[in-house]
Structure 1
Amino acid sequence: MSRQSNRTTDSKKMLCKDYENDEEVNKQLDKMGYNIGVRLIEDFLARSSVGRCQDFRETADVIAKVAFKTYLGITPSVTNWSPAGDEFSLILESNPLVDFVELPDNHSNLVYSNLLCGVLRGALEMVQMAVDVRFVQDTLRGDNVTEIRMKFIKRIEENLPAGDE
């Protein structure tokens, strides 16, 4: 476990060296997470035997109660639903990704856990849901909780090649 977490920390240090500013590092962390999410969804569906969600509220519950519990050992709260029901917040009382992390003063705009946003976006895209995912609050930046905001954009229509119908 410690060997793997050292590798993750080392790769994030490399990102800070390779890119000009925190915004570029944040984009790369999101991209890395997206690539993980695209692959992780297959494992999740095989392990959990969760069927197709009927609506975005059900999707939010599955993410919080099954996915986060399975992969991070935590169960975030699903709160702050928009009146239209197309946007909500995941509130993480603790974030295991930042347990042993301190942001250097010169990287105050770095969103260390931005990887999670990419994972969620990539996984949901593979089940035909386009979403916007972003951090609103982060304990690493001094907030009381970590808040991830998710907004449903659209259902992705699967286009079959001609003749495959």
Structure 2
Amino acid sequence: MSRPAHRRPEYHKINKDLFVLTYGALVAQLCKDYEKDEDVNQYLDKMGYGIGTRLVEDFLARSCVGRCHSYSEIIDIIAQVAFKMYLGITPSVTCNNSSKNEFSLILDKNPLVEFVEELPAGRSSLCYCNLLCGIIRGALEMVHLAADVTFLQDRLKGDSVTEIGITFLKKQDEKKYRRKK
């Protein structure tokens, strides 16, 4: 028996809210388990990486996106399709260099911090949403794209925006993607 189409967004919202609440509890537990913020950040990145390596298959199957021919196309797919599909937001994209291999995703709204007002006391270097960086890095690696993904700005740390920086580490071979005539 199939589910009515009109009920899917409701299930998606419930799953997102559950994820956000569970994520907050996870970060709180990691802060209890690890004294250093760097250890918590590293653990969140590692956990996100594992999620990203598995999530990319679901994303490719559900989104029906085609092959991308440039880094800017890849970033647009991440922002407009992946973030919308899994977190219900669409970050804006900026290119940060003339080589067109460094980009920023600007999140006007970050669902992972919906129930968080500030970082825990004494945790000023905690990167609360570092899981997102690991997810992006893991997913990109599974499609053979090495990237450095880091938080550049974070509203939880008093910045005006939340910004994720993505730097592709290898120049894409444009000849590889040209169509044969």
Same fold, judged at TM 0.5 (above): yes
User: How far apart, in 2, do the equivalents of 1:132 and 1:84 lie?
Assistant: 15
* Alignment RMSD: 1.5
**1:88 is the counterpart of 2:103:** yes
Q: Percent identity?
A: 60
1:160 aligned residue = none
Q: Higher mean Cα deviation, 109-118 or 2-11?
A: 2-11
Cα displacement (A) at 1:8: 2.0
For 1:3 and 1:97, locate their aligned partners in 2 and report how far apart those are by CA, in whole Å: 11
Asked if the contact 2:20/2:111 (under 8 Å) is kept, the reply is no
User: Offset of 1:3 from its aligned partner?
Assistant: 4.7
Select the residue among 89, 92, 109 that pairs with 1:77. Answer: 92
Secondary structure of the corresponding residue to residue 78 of structure 1: strand
Q: Distance in 1 between matches of 2:68 and 2:59?
A: 14
Q: Does 1:104 align with 2:120?
A: yes
Q: How far off is 1:11 after superposition?
A: 1.6
Instruction: Please tell me whether residue 43 in structure 1 is matched to residue 79 in structure 2.
Output: no
Q: How many residues align?
A: 156
User: Which whole-Å CA distance do the structure 1 matches of 2:171 and 2:57 have between them?
Assistant: 19
Q: 1:5 Cα shift?
A: 3.5
Q: Is the 8 Å Cα contact of residues 129 and 155 (structure 1) preserved in structure 2?
A: no
Partner of 2:163: helix, strand, or coil? strand
> What is the letter of the counterpart of residue 26 of structure 1?
N
User: Structure 2: where are the runs of 5+ without partners?
Assistant: 1-13, 173-181
* TM-score, with length taken from structure 2: 0.82
Deviations 1:99-138 (A, max 9, x none): 1112122111111000000000000000000000000101
> Would you identify which runs of 4 or more consecutive aligned residues in structure 1 move more than 4 Å?
none
Bigger CA radius of gyration: 2
Q: Which residue of 2 aligns with 1:27?
A: 42
Task: Provide structure 1 residue ranges, at least 5 long, that are not aligned to the other structure.
Answer: 157-165
Q: What letter is aligned with 1:87?
A: E
- Structure 2 counterpart of 1:130, from 146, 151, 175: 146
CA distance in 2, matches of 1:84, 1:4: 37
Letter in 2 for 1:10: A
